[in-house]
Amino acid sequence: MAEVTLSKVVKKYDEVEAVRGIDLNIADREFVVLVGPSGCGKSTTLRMIAGLEDITGGEIMIGGDLVNDVPPKDRDIAMVFQNYALYPHMTVSENMSFGLRLKHFPKAEIKKRVDEAARILDITDLLDRKPKQLSGGQRQRVAMGRAIVRDPKVFLFDEPLSNLDAKLRVQMRTEIKKVHQKVRTTTVYVTHDQVEAMTLADRVVVMNHGTIEQVGEPNDLYHSPATRFVAGFIGSPAMNFIACGLEKSAGALKLRVPPDLVFDVPADRTKRYEPYAGKKGLLLGLRPEHLTDTRVAAEPGQQKLDVTLNVIEPMGMETIVFFTLGGVEICGRVGSKAGARSGERMSLLAHLGHMHLIDGDSGKVV
């Protein structure tokens, strides 16, 4: 077990600066997920922790030791990749024990560790099978088993579930979480899927263009995104962004969405938002779940809004509705029995108590 610390870590490939001086502290036993769009530097960061990539600048510490110049095999880490190539001619048990056998572990110790990992992963019945006799999810479990038997200081996962179909991916996600609750090994997990990140992580690290946008517990990122990027990346369907203005009139602060919508700014926000009155380039950020039908319980900051629905998408438990506001297509979520119909008018509630105000110049949430 170990903590992992990255200080000012930089990775350059010739011209490309893939990772631009990131700082990150991962606590012992913590499950941290790096998430972000393709090319943002997630795998590069993970590979630098593993020692598979040299670092151009900065320091990486594992368990208090500087590992910048320590080769991968001496870092005491175990990695699970998207392509978890198992040896086809070996049984599950042999695949799992391969690394330990190479290191000449005693036979009894190997058996103990394989049996224990198989028990944790619920693959005891599969130990004598060959990989081709396994399903995708079972193979994925064997790949994890191979990592667990090594009892490393740190687990590194790079999109380990992306080869699986959607249903299996959700199942394996839960499995990985259960396994971590049992073995508690410090884990760094890479995915581009924000739902996977939210559901698995103790803390999520949102990356963008080789930098860290925000680090936080899943619910903190959802409720208090620091930037427009994080606000738009976390949550599905994604947050709506609507150009808006703030006006002070007769001592009250009003939110104006062109051409003709005017809302009261919720009382608890006025102080924070006041300095932005009259400023150009402001965005109102409102999640689809905060644009609902009118039958929900009263809460401060709710304001009525009549819209014409462009399209609706019934999901069973709810209906996703699309309409135009301030010149952009906006997404809301209403009850499946709220009577939403394409092309028809509908009364919605905007829950401005959950709004975010974004300063377009800095991209920061105010």
Ligand X SMILES: Nc1ncnc2c1ncn2[C@@H]1O[C@H](COP(=O)(O)OP(=O)(O)OP(=O)(O)O)[C@@H](O)[C@H]1O
- Residues near Mg ion, by CB under 5 A: 43
93 binds ligand X (CB under 6 A): no
83 binds ligand X (CB under 6 A): no
Q: Site for ligand X (CB under 6 A): which residue of 4, 6, 40, 309?
A: 40
Pairing of strands 318-325, 302-314: antiparallel
Long-range Cβ contacts of 117-126 (<8 Å, 24+ apart): 117/145, 117/148, 117/149, 118/92, 118/93, 118/145, 120/148, 120/179, 120/182, 120/183, 121/145, 121/148, 121/175, 121/179, 123/92, 126/92
16 binds ligand X (CB under 6 A): yes
What does 40 bind: Mg ion, ligand X, none (CB cut-off 5 to 8 Å by kind)?
ligand X
In whole angstroms, how close is the CB of 53 to ligand X at the nearest point?
8
Per the CB < 8 A criterion, the answer to whether 274 and 248 are in contact is: yes
**Cβ closer to Mg ion: 82 or 270?**
82
Name the nearest CA neighbour of 92 among 52, 135, 60: 135
Q: Which of residues 20-39 bind ligand X (CB under 6 A)?
A: 36, 38-39
54 binds ligand X (CB under 6 A): no
Residues forming beta bridges with residue 253, ordered by sequence position: 248
285 binds ligand X (CB under 6 A): no
What does 204 bind: Mg ion, ligand X, none (CB cut-off 5 to 8 Å by kind)?
none
CA 356/CA 119 separation, integer angstroms: 46
328 binds ligand X (CB under 6 A): no
Per-residue x/- track, 178-207, ligand X (CB under 6 A): --------------x---------------
**Cβ closer to Mg ion: 43 or 194?**
43
Residues forming beta bridges with residue 221, ordered by sequence position: none
**SS in 3 state form for 24-71?**
EEECCCCEEEEECCCCCCHHHHHHHHHCCCCCCEEEEEECCEECCCCC
Q: Site for ligand X (CB under 6 A): which residue of 9, 32, 33, 41?
A: 41
42 binds ligand X (CB under 6 A): yes
**Cβ closer to ligand X: 41 or 218?**
41
Q: Which residues bind ligand X (CB under 6 A)?
A: 13, 16, 18, 36, 38-44, 192
